[in-house]
Structure 1
Amino acid sequence: MGKIFAGKTTDIVPGKMIKVSIDGREILVTNIDGNFYATDDSCTHSGASLSEGKLDGCTITCGWHAAEFDCKSGKMTKFPVKIRDLTVYSTSVESDSVFVEM
């Protein structure tokens, strides 16, 4: 599929996360200190949209049941039971545009 436009760097300021739809998939794009990361937007516990949760540093916390994931690696970092990690996608920045590689 290649590189898909996800947004402008000015729309995803440091410490912010946004949800984008790419070819029918919901992808969460985060900006941590000027570095962009992309994961699936759906929590692997019960499918909640992670974009409705919160971002603290590199930790995404699901708003439904407080599962926590590292936005850089997609790894689950905290939850009472083991659930599947998030899928991680490569990102790139060209000029002022953020792209997700699918």
Structure 2
Amino acid sequence: MGKIIVGKTSDIPVGKMQKVTADGKEIVVMNIDGSYFAMDDTCTHAGASLAEGKLEGSIVTCDWHGSKWDGKTGKLHAFPAKIKD
């Protein structure tokens, strides 16, 4: 996939994220320590916008139920379901 320009880097300060539309898809762009990362903006648990959640370090937390992703890799870090013994 090639580059798609979605805005100016100056629009997203360090430690912040912003929802943008690229090629008809909503994505969240994050500024993590001066580097920019992007992933699908939709939480796979309940469909919330991840851009409305929190970015702490490189971890993106969904505001609805607390699912977490690594913003650098897009991999699931934690989900709201818990296993009881």
**Please, what TM-score do these two structures have when normalized by structure 2?**
0.88
CA RMSD in angstroms comes to 1.5
Q: Which residue in the other structure is 1:95 paired with?
A: none
Q: Which residue in the other structure is 1:71 paired with?
A: 71
Aligned positions of 1:1-102 closer than 5 A: 2-81=2-81
Task: String of CA shifts for 1:1-53, please: whole Å, max 9, x gaps.
Answer: 63211211111111010000112200100001110000000001111000111
Segments of structure 2 that go 5 or more residues without pairing to the other structure are none
- Equivalent pairs counted in the alignment come to 82
Higher strand share: 1
**Please, what TM-score do these two structures have when normalized by structure 1?**
0.75
Larger RCO (alpha carbons 8 Å, 6+ apart): 1
Structure 1 residue runs of 4 or more that deviate by more than 3 Å after TM superposition: none
**What is the percentage of aligned positions where both structures have the same residue?**
59
Segments of structure 1 that go 5 or more residues without pairing to the other structure are 82-102
